[in-house]
Structure 1
C-alpha cells in the first residue's frame, strides 16, 4: 500500500521522537538535581538540563508554527517571549519531562492529520532577521533531525555521569519490538497503533 506513505513515515517519526525522549528522560530522571543542572559539561549547551530545555522549547516553537498554519492562523507574533524568554524554563527533570510529554503528544496529534497531499503547504515562521517559509514536510524533517542532534549530545553527556546512556535506536526494526515493549507499555501505545499503515 503506497497511499500517504510519506505522511505515515512522518507520523512514525513523531512517535519515534516521543519514544526516544521518553527513554532518554527516564534515564535523566535518575540523576540527582546537581548532576542534572550542572553547566560544566562539554557540549553545545554545557549541561544536560540546558540541552533538554532547548530540546523542549525548540519543539514547542515548531509545533506551535505547524498547528498555526493548519488552523489558518498567522505566525506567532511574539514567539521569543512565548518560547525563548527564559533559556531554561524547566528547572527539574520532572517538570521538563512533563512539558516534553505534552509537546510530543501535540506533535503526534498534528502528524495524525497529515496526508501526502498537504505536505507541500507552506508554513511561515518569524525569525529575528527574516521570515522563514518552508513546506510542512521540510519543517517536520528539520524538527525531527534537530531533536536527534541534541538528544545525541545529552546521550554523550550522560556517559560522564553515574547513569548509563540508554539505547536510542530500537524503534524502527520490527524484530526489536520486544526491546521497546516496556517503553510502549509506559507510553500507553501498541505496535499496531504506532505502525498503522506501515509494513
Structure 2
C-alpha cells in the first residue's frame, strides 16, 4: 500500500511534468501539435487531451469534478482549442493537488466501487491501487507526448522524479 505522502509527491510530479510538456508544446504551432505522429491518440494535442479526459473521469469517481461529456476517443469535442486545453489542464492540476492533499492512511485502505466503461461492469478496488493507476496512466501517456515533442524539435524538461525541485 502507498502512503499519503506518495500521493502528494505524485501530484507535484504531475504538475511539474505537465508544465514542462505544455511549455514545450506551446513552442510548436497548432498544425504541428495536431499532426498525426502515429501514437495511440495520434497527435501531441490529442494525447494531452486524453490525459486530461482520463484525469477527469477518475477524479469524478472521487467526487472531485464533473465527468467529461464525451468518450475518450472524442476529446477534441471538449478541447479543440489549445488555450482551453491548457487552462483546463491547469485547473485539473489544482484539483489533483487538493485530492492528493486530502488522503489519510485509512482513506487509501478503503475501496472505491464504480461502473467501468472499459470493463463494462461494476468494479471495486482499493483506493491506493487506483491512486497508483491514475498517476501511472498519466506518466505512460506523458512519455508518449515527450517522445512526440522531441521528434518535433521541441525541448521538454527531464522526466526523472529525483530531478524535481524540492525533493530530498
**2:154 match: secondary structure:** coil
TM-score by length of 2: 0.86
Cα shift at 1:83: 4.7
**What is the rounded CA distance, in whole Å, between the counterparts of 1:59 and 1:47 in structure 2?**
18
2:11 paired residue number? 14
**2:80 match: secondary structure:** coil
Residue in structure 2 matching 1:101, options 90, 94, 105: 90
Q: Which runs of 5+ in 2 are unaligned?
A: none
Count of equivalent residues: 162
Contact in 2 for aligned 1:155/1:165 (Cα 8 Å): yes
2:69 paired residue number? 82
Larger Rg, first or second structure (1 or 2): 1
1:32 paired residue number? 29
**What is the rounded CA distance, in whole Å, between the counterparts of 2:41 and 2:155 in structure 1?**
20
- Seen in structure 2, the aligned counterparts of structure 1 residues 172 and 66 have a Cα distance that, compared at 3 Å, is farther
1:90-148 residue CA offsets vs partner (Å, 9 max, x unmatched)? 12332211111111111110111111122111112212311121121111100000000
1:34-57 residue CA offsets vs partner (Å, 9 max, x unmatched)? 011112x12111111110110000
**What is the rounded CA distance, in whole Å, between the counterparts of 2:137 and 2:88 in structure 1?**
17
TM-score by length of 1: 0.73
**What is the rounded CA distance, in whole Å, between the counterparts of 1:135 and 1:56 in structure 2?**
23
**1:165 match: secondary structure:** coil
1:144 paired residue number? 135
RMSD over equivalenced CA pairs, Å: 2.1
Q: Which runs of 5+ in 1 are unaligned?
A: 69-75, 178-190
- Seen in structure 2, the aligned counterparts of structure 1 residues 172 and 115 have a Cα distance that, compared at 3 Å, is farther
